[in-house]
Amino acid sequence: MREVVLSTGGSILLYDTSGPYTDENLRTDVRAGLPKLRAPWTAERAARAGDGAPTQLGYARRGEITTEMEFIALREGVSAQTVREEVAAGRAVIPANVNHPEIEPMVIGEAFLVKVNANIGNSAVSSSIEHEVEKMVWATRWGADTIMDLSTGKDIHQTREWILRNSPVPVGTVPIYQALEKVGGRPEDLTWEVYRDTVIEQCEQGVDYMTVHAGVRADYVPLTARRKTGIVSRGGSILAAWCMAHRRENFLYERFGELTEILRAYDVTYSLGDGLRPGSIYDANDRAQLAELETLGELGRLARDMDVQVMIEGPGHVPMHKIKENVALQKRLCDDAPFYTLGPLTTDIAPGYDHITSAIGAAMIGWYGTAMLCYVTPKEHLGLPDLEDVKQGMIAYKIAAHAADLAKGHPGAQAWDDALSDARFEFRWEDQFNLALDPATARAYHDETLPAAPAKQAHFCSMCGPHFCSMKITHEIRSRHGEDAEPVAV
């Protein structure tokens, strides 16, 4: 948690994802990695249970509260019992690989604060390892609750290692990307064995959740033929190509039980990928998407039966009037498993501003029950995000997530808005800046028109000037007539 001290003498605690990087009293060393907070917890459990230690879901089901659950309860301001119950019911997940001791545990579920994921990762075209680690730290600085490493270029293993050892938040991946690199980029050359070995490699490293496109069944691929934008998920298109080339069922679907056993051994969480998500307003909520969603529900039940935690990924591009239906279907078909959605974008017409087209959809889908939002940056559809894009995407999505928390009536969410509104009404400019999602930008915008230090005490701002400040006039009315003024007789 981060404490914001106010000029009134009070303070407010805000949820914080940045780990030790923003703690003045701690030094971090990228080469050494972060302190291993969870190491004693997992060691203690392993000592009791041996190699067969249960997953968080396993513990939750047997009524046992883990240290991770206690940590999360403190962060969320709820009881540890609530955390345990939500995990046990499959309505929440705690992505926490036993081999990733560096993270500060967090929970993803409708009963908790809406979370935001930031995608980073190099592609064949650009970027470097150091740069990706910097992006990860930067994303958590702006509030990323998890990050996904979507690297597809060379040095995938090494990039991931650096990110994992330095990340205070859970890390997700899409193993099929690395598996495809191993077979020279030819989808038809993929095999279960190559994929399995890749998953084990990543589990060993400490990846906390993995996107698995096991729901792209061969039968569903032709359902995309009349779409406007076909298949837009990279993983989905790779597996569709494999199915078509071999005229066989998706090997991830056929080997799902074996795969689940591997994930269970490390307590890695499934993020069941929506390989057939719509890539345009036209394709939203179509047969291909809903057929896959039904299969994701079936796979989710299988995984939970084996004590493996499950999230379900969602779209994509959805106009506003189809968002609620989308969430309702996901809840029904997937037994209330946490929904993890990309946006959705509510229109296709604004490339360059898709952090905004999608923040609209993200706020709404969060309100309707989505547990985690995958951010979209201004570069979506156009290029790879740089640090500024990561920041812009994160801020748009923290706004969406918090607006959703407010609308859901999450306990405590409104205290932040109230603190900022109080500061605004009382002309406490420094408090307003410090409480803002982006204090430096708020301060800079204020200073552009009223730069002098006295303006920080001014009872007006440059928008209206002193004569027209409505809040100043309100204060004058109140001071003359009292807060509890009775109606004037007219």
Considering only 61, 141, 301, 424, the residue that binds a copy of itself (CB under 8 A) is 424
Q: How far apart are the first and last CA of the chain?
A: 52
Strands (DSSP E) found in 11-159: 11-14, 92-93, 108-109, 115-120, 146-149
483 binds a copy of itself (CB under 8 A): yes
135 binds a copy of itself (CB under 8 A): no
247 binds a copy of itself (CB under 8 A): yes
**473 CB-side CA count, 13 A:** 7
* Least distance between a copy of itself and beta carbon 367 (Å): 5
Q: What is the DSSP annotation of 54-121? A: --HHHHHHTTPPPHHHHHHHHHHTS-HHHHHHHHHTTSEE----TT-TTS----EETTSPPEEEEEE-
In what helix (H) or strand (E) does residue 171 lie, and over which residues does it extend? Answer: strand 171-173
Instruction: Return the number of the residue (56 or 211) whose C-beta is nearest a copy of itself.
Output: 211
Cα–Cα distance for residue pair 300/118, rounded to 1 Å: 24
Residue 446, annotated as binding a ligand: no
Q: Scan residues 251-310 and list those touching a copy of itself (CB under 8 A).
A: 279-282
Considering only 339, 367, 375, 427, the residue that binds a copy of itself (CB under 8 A) is 367
177 binds a copy of itself (CB under 8 A): yes
452 binds a copy of itself (CB under 8 A): no
357 binds a copy of itself (CB under 8 A): yes
Residue 313, annotated as binding a ligand: yes
Instruction: Return the number of the residue (320 or 328) whose C-beta is nearest a copy of itself.
Output: 320
Q: What residues have CB less than 8 Å from 467, skipping those under 6 apart?
A: none
Q: Scan residues 322-341 and list those touching a copy of itself (CB under 8 A).
A: none
Question: Please, what is the Cα angle at 272 between 137 and 110, to 5 degrees?
Answer: 70
Considering only 67, 99, 152, 285, the residue that binds a copy of itself (CB under 8 A) is 152
131 binds a copy of itself (CB under 8 A): no
233 binds a copy of itself (CB under 8 A): yes
Looking at the DSSP bridge assignments, the partners of residue 314 are: 341
Closest CA to 62 of 73, 78, 48, 72: 48
Which one of 37-45, 80-88, 263-271, 390-398 is the stretch in contact with a copy of itself (CB under 8 A)? 390-398
48 binds a copy of itself (CB under 8 A): no
Residue 461, annotated as binding a ligand: yes
DSSP 457: T
Residues in the chain: 490
* Least distance between a copy of itself and beta carbon 82 (Å): 22
428 binds a copy of itself (CB under 8 A): no
Residue 469, annotated as binding a ligand: yes
Question: Please, what is the Cα angle at 405 between 403 and 409, to 5 degrees?
Answer: 115
Strands (DSSP E) found in 29-130: 92-93, 108-109, 115-120
Residue 243, annotated as binding a ligand: no
Considering only 350, 412, 430, 456, the residue that binds a copy of itself (CB under 8 A) is 350
Locate 440 and state its tokens.
């430096």
Bond prior to 344 in cis (omega within 30° of 0): yes
Instruction: Return the number of the residue (18 or 66) whose C-beta is nearest a copy of itself.
Output: 18
Work out the angle between the directed axes of helices 354-368 and 323-333 (0-180°, nearest 10).
50
83 binds a copy of itself (CB under 8 A): no
Residue 448, annotated as binding a ligand: no
Residue 75, annotated as binding a ligand: no
Considering only 32, 39, 320, 387, the residue that binds a copy of itself (CB under 8 A) is 320
* Least distance between a copy of itself and beta carbon 479 (Å): 11
Instruction: Return the number of the residue (33 or 153) whose C-beta is nearest a copy of itself.
Output: 153
Considering only 22, 255, 356, 412, the residue that binds a copy of itself (CB under 8 A) is 356
Instruction: Return the number of the residue (85 or 348) whose C-beta is nearest a copy of itself.
Output: 348
* Least distance between a copy of itself and beta carbon 61 (Å): 33
Strands (DSSP E) found in 315-358: 339-342
Q: Which amino acid is residue 176, in one-letter code?
A: I
* Least distance between a copy of itself and beta carbon 273 (Å): 12
Q: Determine how many CB atoms are found less than 10 A away from the CB of residue 23.
A: 12
Residue 276, annotated as binding a ligand: yes
Considering only 407, 412, 430, 456, the residue that binds a copy of itself (CB under 8 A) is 407
* Least distance between a copy of itself and beta carbon 435 (Å): 7
470 binds a copy of itself (CB under 8 A): yes
Tokens 């989308």 appear where? 326
Q: What is the DSSP annotation of 112-154? A: SPPEEEEEE---SSS--HHHHHHHHHHHHHTT-SEEEE---SS
Locate 97 and state its tokens.
């690989």
Give the gyration radius of the chain's Cα atoms.
Answer: 24
Query: Residue 370 in contact with residue 327, Cβ under 8 Å?
Result: yes
Closest CA to 236 of 214, 207, 268: 214
485 binds a copy of itself (CB under 8 A): yes
Instruction: Return the number of the residue (39 or 445) whose C-beta is nearest a copy of itself.
Output: 445
Considering only 189, 197, 422, 430, the residue that binds a copy of itself (CB under 8 A) is 422
Q: Determine how many CB atoms are found less than 10 A away from the CB of residue 262.
A: 16
Query: Residue 102 in contact with residue 72, Cβ under 8 Å?
Result: no
Q: Binding site for Zn(2+), residues?
A: 317, 381
Q: Binding site for substrate, residues?
A: 119, 148, 177, 213, 233-235, 274-277, 313, 340
Q: Binding site, residues?
A: 119, 148, 177, 213, 233-235, 274-277, 313, 317, 340, 381, 461, 464, 469
